Amino acid sequence: MTLRLATVAGLLAALTHAGCSSQTAYASGQAWQQGQCNKIIDMQERERCMAPTRQSFDRYQKQADELKSGAQPE
């Protein structure tokens, strides 16, 4: 849970950076989370942490749009 909160904080920080596009902010957040995951010693736990960081921006955007419209994400 702490990792998720830290991820959200990182994404919010990236989004508040002036002149940042959504895709750039997303990439920055993903890179930050990957760095945090790489600190985990246990390989299985690290892999679980890394799994969400492999989602493409297009997929993320599609899911975000579905959530905004009230549809169930795939």
For the chain, the structural domain boundaries read 23-61
The amino acid present at 16, given as its one-letter code, is T
What one-letter code names the amino acid at 60? Y
Query: 6 or 51: whose pLDDT is higher?
Result: 51
Sign of CA dihedral 52, 58, 64, 69: negative
Q: Which residue has the higher pLDDT, 58 or 13?
A: 58
The residue with tokens 């990236």 is 14
Whole-model pTM: value is 0.62
pLDDT digits (tens, 9 = 90+) for 16-55: 554 568 899 999 999 999 999 999 999 999 999 999 999 9
